[in-house]
Structure 1
Amino acid sequence: MIHEVDEALRALFRAEPLEGGQIAVVFDAPTRDWAATVNAPTVNLYLYDIREHMQLRERGLHNQYDEQGIVVARRRPPRYFKLSYLITAWTKRPEDEHRLLSSLLTCLLQYEALPAERLTGTLAEIGVAVPMTIALPPPSDRSFADVWSALGGELKPSLDLVVSVPATASPVYPAGPPVSDEGLQLGFFDAPPPDERPGNEPTAYRTAPNGVKQPIYGTRPGAPPRAADDGADTEPRARTRRGGIASRISEGGE
């Protein structure tokens, strides 16, 4: 994926800001020894840092569909990594370098992501955006002066380009067959008589309109069958409970 971002940036710069001019686009480390070998106008895109973009990490799984729109597999969402490029211009005159950097900056400010027509290979196949930022302040744990010190060169005007590239290398989990109603059968049948049911028989039954006795489940073993809920004994029970509670309250009050 990194080399595909390199190719996309090279194609973008050659097509727009450089306009096919005789300016080389390279990715070498701009060390002191390398700078001594430069004898033609050059744009250097040095990849100096790679780290995961934690704000873009997703959870869960993404579905993959076939031509009929059926889920055939699932895979983890892509994880984005920030590729930090140090862009410098190398010519014989500082004014030409500034003019070249200005053209590059103007080009990059027009895009929030790499143009889709410049993407190739895996980046073109997955069909997701490749965000990028230009000339943002560096993080607190890194400064451009430290980069130049590590390279052993002199501090030079530069642009900091960060491209958030998705990495799609993740396991693929095949999905099971879709659920359908094919082969599903529904029907009704008469329950067997109570004396033919093996063990754990219910303790109460009711007679259906067709005269067949049907079991009533949920009763306690050994409990007598429930009477019909006709409300005949509801009031006496309520009066008994209220009477008992009232007598205990009166006895306690005395």
Structure 2
Amino acid sequence: MIHEVDEGLRLLLVDAGLQESGVDLVFDAPTKDWSARRNAPTISIFLHGIRENAGRRRTGTAEEHDENGMVIGWRTPPRWFELTYLVTAWTNRPQDEHRLLSEVLRCLMRHDVLPAGMLTGSLAELGLTVELEAAGPRTDGPSASDVWSALGGELKAAIDLRVLAPLAGERAPAGPPVTEGLVMKAAPAVDGTAGDDPGRRLRYEGAGGDLPADGFAAERERQLPPGRRKRGSAAR
């Protein structure tokens, strides 16, 4: 799921035309060594936080069906996770970095969710929205200065991007559908000899097979005990 969110963000910025102007889009950590090696204008989308949104957690299972309506499996509900990115621009001049950040911010502010056409893999299969929040109010996560300290770099302008995405639940496949009914046969006699009862198929009329298709579902005349009469018949 995480790599699919990465791809969705990349496609979103490519669609905005950032890559066409010669800007590299990377997901590297912007450390001192990394910044010293870059040789082109770059937008870094660095993932530094993954946390579950426990308020959206659900229990139970849901059935999965094929095109004929047959149950082919069961899946637990998806779990929702908040991914936190640090988006930075890297050029030789601060003015150019601010211009790039402005273009990224404008692109992100156009969308509250990732467009469906930019979702791939399990995100596309689930058909659920992937929410975006750019430069929102600060939460209880690490501050920008803490992130930069961990990276070993100097504090610089950055966009705090939060993505709320679902992780598909676990799937349990269903067994193949039952196509042959149960067959009930009489047990061997007490003396050990086997009976010649071919058995009775426990299924409904029209099932086919070598054994009689009607089985116990077919109507049959009930044999009454001696001295009993059918309800409604005249007494002799």
**TM-score interval (norm. to shorter):** 0.7 to 0.9
Judge which range, 72-81 or 149-158, deviates more.
72-81
Q: CA deviation at 1:104?
A: 1.1
Kept after mapping to 2: 8 A contact 1:84/1:161: yes
Quote how far apart the aligned CAs of 1:155 are: 1.1
Alignment of 1:90-109 (within 5 A): 90-109=90-109
Mapped contact 2:77–2:169 kept (Cα < 8 A) = no
Counterpart residue identity of residue 20, structure 1: E
**Please, which runs of 5 or more residues in structure 2 have no aligned partner?**
179-202, 206-216
In the other structure, the counterpart of 2:58 is: 58
**2:45 is matched with which residue?**
45
Q: Partners in 2 of 1:113 and 1:34 — Cα distance?
A: 30
- Deviation of 1:82 (Å): 1.8
The residue aligned with 1:154 is 154
Once the two structures are superposed, the pairs formed by residues 96-245 of structure 1 within 5 Å of their partners are 96-168=96-168, 170-174=170-174, 177=177, 182-183=204-205, 184-185=217-218, 189=222, 192=225, 210=233
Distance 1:211 1:192, change over 3 A: farther
Check 1:33–1:175 CA distance in 2 against 1; reply closer, same or farther (3 A cut): same
Going by fraction, where is helix more abundant, 1 or 2? 1
Contact 2:29 2:46 in 1 (8 A): yes
Number of residue pairs matched by the alignment: 202
Q: Percent identity?
A: 45
Moved over 3 A (4+): 175-178, 181-195, 208-212
Deviates more, 1:64-73 or 1:125-134: 125-134
Offset at residue 175 of structure 1 (A) = 6.4
User: Offset at 1:191?
Assistant: 5.5
What amino acid maps onto 2:59 in structure 1?
Answer: R
Residues 163 and 187 (structure 1 numbering): CA distance in 2 closer, same or farther, change over 3 Å? farther
* Preserved CA contact (<8 Å) 2:83 2:162: yes
Residue aligned with 1:156, SS: coil
Contact 2:131 2:163 in 1 (8 A): yes
Q: TM-score, normalised by structure 2?
A: 0.72
Query: What residue in structure 2 maps to residue 201 of structure 1?
Result: none
Q: Which amino acid aligns with 1:32?
A: K
CA distance in structure 1 between the aligned counterparts of 2:122 and 2:35, rounded to whole angstroms: 33
* RMSD over aligned Cα atoms: 3.0
In the superposition, the TM-score normalised over structure 1's length comes to 0.68
**Deviations for 1:22-63, whole angstroms, at most 9, x for unmatched residues?**
001111111122222233211000110112122332221122
Tell which deviates more after alignment, 71-80 or 148-157: 71-80
CA contact (8 A) 1:71 1:175 kept: no
Structure 1: gaps of 5 or more residues: 196-207, 213-254
Question: How far 1:160 sits from its partner (Å)?
Answer: 1.4
